[in-house]
Structure 1
Amino acid sequence: MNKRTFLKNLTFTGIASSASFEAFSKTIEAYTLISPVALAKDEDFWQKIRGGYKLKPDYINLENGYYCFLPTETLENYINHIREINYQGSWYFRTVQWENKDKAAARLAKAFGGSPDEIAITRNATESLDIIISGYPWQKGDEAIFALQDYGSIQNMFILASRRHGITNKIVSIPNHPKTDEEIVKIYEDAITPNTKLMMVSHMINITGQILPVRKICDMAHRHGVEVMLDGAHCIAHFDFKIEDLNCDYYACSLHKWLSVPLGAGLLYVKKDKINKIWPLLAPYELDHTNIKNLNHIGTHPVATDLAVNNALDYFEKIGAERKEERLRYLQLYWSDKVRNVPKINVNTPAEPSRSCGIANVGIEGLDPNEMAKILMEKHKIYTVGINYAGVVGCRITPNIYTSTEELDVFVNALKEMAKS
């Protein structure tokens, strides 16, 4: 098999040639004249989409935020990639692996923003963020800013940077129900001093699903000469945006979440003029690349996951970014609007549609979130996760596009029953 044929067969046409994907495509095409807003409420359509997933029937899964299941088309293509690479062996690794990875990164850039020279495929958002924090040119006395509500292990990486370099970490706290964008911007701005170098901001707070006004925060920070690293672990393929429109310096995401890439794929964006200032976490195969490859060498790795990025993008692009966003937001508001005014039920996510999408958090007064999650699972067969820190007391609820309103009705009734008792 020559290189050209291998690339064609392995990388880009596998999913499109499958009978199941053709059937999926026909389903989508039958609804092209329906607006995304209207389609979000069409349970018949989403039931057909649900048919493309193999779901465990033992419980209702409302914890898709940790890891989103792969649709059957992506899963089968991923398995085929593993088989094909095992068949090709060292030939694949010594000939086309980097070209294939570059093409997958270029597709990510086209779909979500940035140039191909600014986008790297990492293993997850944690790795992406740690590359920046650990490789930043810190000097003793420098300051970093992040929020109490940010992801815990990333906060710990800043603590390690403090121990190693003598930097100071300033921790702010974001309210669950801000009144305006400016209120949030001011919280970050008030923490800035002449020593502030880098600010980490969650594009979407993972424990509540609150979307922060990151463009306004980035613009403000840059006026003060401060760089901004955005934690977008839950954002890509969840709601529609382009990275370059955010005006950030660094961006990170986990592709195994809402893009439904197999485990072991994340995204790192570094603005082109910032690449050379970051010290690589691991030494590159060739020193002193002028693009993001200088930060992205991890040795031999599961290259089948890189190839599956293409399949996940095929599926996502067929669904459509706007359709998916509208469906996820509709599902979240469907259940949260039904319980926001119920006594003893606290929704810890803003009600305004622009401040959230598919993720929300809800608690019951007087009930520990872990106990709440246990009751939901054992009594109501609903799987979720308890959160009890940083001013957030409740369970994080993350449906996916295949979640039905019927399942959410079960959840709403369970919440109301728990609140009464």
Structure 2
Amino acid sequence: MARPVLEKHKAYLDQVNQRNSYYARREFGKDMAQVAGAVSRHLNVLPEELLFTRNATEALQTLIGGFNLLKPGDTVLYADVDYDAMQAAMDSLAVRRGVKVVKIAVPQPATYDAALSTYQKALKDNPGTKLLLLTQISHRSGLLLPVKEIAAMARAAGAEVILDAAHSWGQIEVDVQQLGVDFIGFNVHKWIGAPIGVGLMYVKKGRESAIDPDMSEAPTATTLESRLHTGTTNFAAYLAVPDALAFHQQVGPAAKEARIRYLRDLWVSQVRDLKNLEILTDDDPRMHAGITSIRVKGRTDAAENAKVAAELLEKYKVFTVTRGGLAGGPCIRITPALYTTEADVAQLVKALRGVAG
């Protein structure tokens, strides 16, 4: 959280703690309507199309597990760049819905044309596909998919799309109406900078029936709220969302995106000459934002990746995250933040030259 958001969050904690049950039962609903209104304006959706969750994982598991337009023998499709919990949720549909589950691999680094052709071929090779999971920005490699174009392909092939936007909103500008997707899971506590424990589920108005009601609700329930029963939530965290959005707007979404992209390009441009370093996103700005992952040649299994990450941290004081699951092998994710400086990038470049030079 930015400091102004953190201070507001502390104040909300005090208010909620003081007013407690009276606030929860008599006033919180009205405040949440205002929070939903603020979010809806930023995403270009209707407030009633949004349901707050604790994170994108909760939202996406609800959408995937509850998606009821599948019948035995249908195909569902996802890729190696998708998040682990979402892959597991798609796999579970084999038992829950009796469908065939297909996993594909996206090239690394993927060009714009290669990404489109990969999904086009997957849909052609699996004509019974009724559900496609897409991740707008991969938490593994940083790949930014052309969601609008792939979603159009899926619709033409008779498939619905569930979109994982956990890492996109706030890292890039997101206008839901431009994506052509009816079901989306968001995080608000990542790149928007709200307190930890705030996510969103988007369901286009009129599509609620495609998602089963929560087990605690009547089977005939029709509202979006009936699709997920989280129980008591972190009131103060939700109340701080408009403050996070205000700070995000004060910085400027386009300026924030430009800054994060600049920091990524700054370090990548200085290590492209390293023959032992594999960079997993293409330099085409359509294919990445701020996140980009690397591999050091000859040190590509999980154990060696962990050693490289440990060396980056212990020797150079650069914190990175190891990620597995890609068809090409494990990798190390590098994620600049809004507050990352050029001096930080210079230290990263020094570190990468040290481990891969």
Shift of 1:161: 2.0
Mapped contact 2:154–2:161 kept (Cα < 8 A): yes
Q: Kindly indicate whether residue 332 of structure 2 is the aligned counterpart of residue 332 of structure 1.
A: no
CA distance in 2, matches of 1:194, 1:111: 36
Show the counterpart of 1:353.
285
Unaligned runs of 5+ in 1: 1-69
Does the residue aligned with 1:187 lie in a helix, a strand or coil?
Answer: helix
Tell me which of 219, 227, 231 is aligned to 2:160. 227
Show the counterpart of 2:71.
139
Q: Kindly indicate whether residue 348 of structure 2 is the aligned counterpart of residue 419 of structure 1.
A: no
Measured against aligned partners, the alpha-carbon deviations of 1:69-95 in whole angstroms (never above 9, x if no partner) come to: x11111111111111011111111111
CA distance in 2, matches of 1:320, 1:92: 33
How many residues align structurally? 349
Tell me which of 268, 273, 277 is aligned to 2:206. 273
Q: Kindly indicate whether residue 47 of structure 2 is the aligned counterpart of residue 111 of structure 1.
A: no
Report the identity percentage: 30
Mapped contact 1:228–1:249 kept (Cα < 8 A): yes
Q: Kindly indicate whether residue 336 of structure 2 is the aligned counterpart of residue 404 of structure 1.
A: no
Q: Which moved more, 1:96-105 or 1:311-320?
A: 96-105
Does the residue aligned with 1:402 lie in a helix, a strand or coil?
Answer: coil
CA distance in 2, matches of 1:79, 1:406: 31
CA distance in 2, matches of 1:226, 1:286: 25
Q: In structure 2, what residue type is equivalent to 1:96? A: E
Tell me which of 89, 92, 104 is aligned to 1:157. 89
Show the counterpart of 2:294.
362
Mapped contact 1:210–1:349 kept (Cα < 8 A): yes
Structure 1 residues 266 and 279, CA, compared in 2 at 3 Å: closer, same or farther? Answer: same
CA distance in 1, matches of 2:81, 2:283: 19
Q: Which moved more, 1:321-330 or 1:382-391?
A: 382-391
Mapped contact 1:384–1:397 kept (Cα < 8 A): yes
CA distance in 2, matches of 1:152, 1:306: 26
CA distance in 2, matches of 1:294, 1:110: 23
Shift of 1:266: 0.5
Unaligned runs of 5+ in 2: none
Q: Kindly indicate whether residue 12 of structure 2 is the aligned counterpart of residue 81 of structure 1.
A: yes
Q: Kindly indicate whether residue 184 of structure 2 is the aligned counterpart of residue 251 of structure 1.
A: yes
Shift of 1:190: 2.6
Shift of 1:282: 4.8
Mapped contact 1:285–1:297 kept (Cα < 8 A): no
Mapped contact 1:126–1:154 kept (Cα < 8 A): yes
Show the counterpart of 2:138.
205
Show the counterpart of 1:191.
122
Tell me which of 395, 400, 412 is aligned to 2:332. 395
Mapped contact 1:121–1:296 kept (Cα < 8 A): no
Structure 1 residues 299 and 180, CA, compared in 2 at 3 Å: closer, same or farther? Answer: closer
Q: CA RMSD in A?
A: 1.7
Q: Kindly indicate whether residue 181 of structure 2 is the aligned counterpart of residue 283 of structure 1.
A: no
Q: Kindly indicate whether residue 174 of structure 2 is the aligned counterpart of residue 241 of structure 1.
A: yes
Does the residue aligned with 2:151 lie in a helix, a strand or coil?
Answer: helix
Show the counterpart of 2:248.
316
Q: In structure 2, what residue type is equivalent to 1:98? A: G
TM-score (norm 2): 0.93
Mapped contact 2:93–2:101 kept (Cα < 8 A): no
